[in-house]
Amino acid sequence: VQLQASGGGLVQTGGSLRLSCAASGRTLGGSDIGWFRQVPGKEREFVGRITWSTGNTNYADSVKGRFAISRDNTKNLVYLQMSSLKPEDSAVYYCAAGKTYYSKLYYADSSKYNYWGQGTQVTVSS
**Which letter does DSSP use for residue 4 in this model?**
E
H or E element at residue 105: helix 104-107
> How confident is the model over 9-68, as pLDDT tens digits?
999 999 999 999 999 887 777 799 999 999 999 999 999 999 999 999 999 999 999 999
Instruction: List the beta bridge partners of residue 92.
Output: 38, 121
